[in-house]
Amino acid sequence: MRKNIVAGNWKMNCDLPTSQKLIWELKKALKPDYNCELMIAPSFPCIYPAFNSTLDTPIEVVAQNCSEQEKGAFTGEVSIDMLQSVGVKTVIIGHSERRDIYKEDDALLAAKTVAAINKGMRVIFCCGEHLEIRKAGDHFSTVGNQIEKALFNLTPAQMEQVVIAYEPVWAIGTGETASPAQAQEMHAHIRTMLKDHFGDMTAHHTSILYGGSVKPANAAELFANPDVDGGLVGGASLDAQSFLAIADAF
Ligand code: PEP
């Protein structure tokens, strides 16, 4: 079912004390109700403490990444079973930093996505174009390809476990945000792709988040678009007041 979601991607920013302090600040400032699901994605070592510290809150603790492998000799990797054993039910896959810095390609992201879904996880699948692609006018086909390659092998039932996050790479951590019209245009394009491939139900039920310098000042105008169902938030999620102000923009 399509839901509004505001997810904070803490990236490699908070050690355990910082992570626990941020959770404490979030808990202190939480209102009784939000018109969206709230998620935070701490680093792997902080996930279990974060899970325990948020049990009495509506905040879901999610993972920033996972391995496509089941188990075994994969030094440095974290399996889906391991994440589930510490309470994680949702994983971010395909963030542009994973694609660009760690060279995760479409085939690997497709493998991670299907592995996570088959274990019953929800996946926040990230896609988005670089600036030169947008300047060349190829953003729709680039994002379309990313989605097609990772998600079009899934069934409509499996797609119920997928949330898409459109994150134009030129807007991530740059302070430059896609305009509400640019975000809506791409989200509508993605929804049309889902409709053409999976049918009306999937298109209607899939949450599509926007990510890229979402701040309290621009969240409301982004979320007001009919096809923008929330945000994947980096920098602004490291401040409890900013993150909750973004959640409050619904
Ligand atoms: C992100 O990393 O997913 C992101 C959107 O970062 P920021 O909000 O800092 O642009």
Per mean pLDDT, which range of 97-106, 174-183, 193-202 is the poorest?
174-183
**167 classed as catalytic:** yes
Quickly count: other Cβ atoms within 10 Å of residue 179's Cβ: 11
49 contacts 19 by C-beta, under 8 angstroms? yes
User: Whose CA is closest to atom 4 on ligand 1?
Assistant: 234
In this prediction, residue 174 has a pLDDT band, given cuts at 50, 70 and 90, of: confident
Atom of ligand 1 nearest to the CA of 214: 8
Count of CA atoms in the C-beta half-sphere (13 A) of 9? 29
In this prediction, residue 175 has a pLDDT band, given cuts at 50, 70 and 90, of: confident
- Quick check: CB of 54 below 6 Å from ligand 1? no
Cα–Cα distances in angstroms (integers) from residue 2 to residues 161, 227, 233, in the given order = 11, 11, 19
Instruction: Judge if pTM exceeds 0.85.
Output: yes
Average pLDDT, the chain: 97
Closest Cα partner for 113 from 74, 77, 47, 164? 164
The catalytically annotated residue of 97, 167, 187, 189 is 167
SS3 at position 10: coil
Q: How far apart are CA 26 and CA 237, in angstroms?
A: 10
User: Whose CA is closest to atom 3 on ligand 1?
Assistant: 234
The catalytically annotated residue of 95, 139, 187, 189 is 95
- Quick check: CB of 167 below 6 Å from ligand 1? yes
> Beta partners for 127?
166
Burial 58-86 (b: 16+ CB within 10 A, else e): ebbbbbbbbbbeeeeeeeeebbbebbbeb
Atom of ligand 1 nearest to the CA of 213: 10
Dump the DSSP string for 68-108: SS-SSS-TT---HHHHHHTT--EEEE--HHHHHTS---HHH
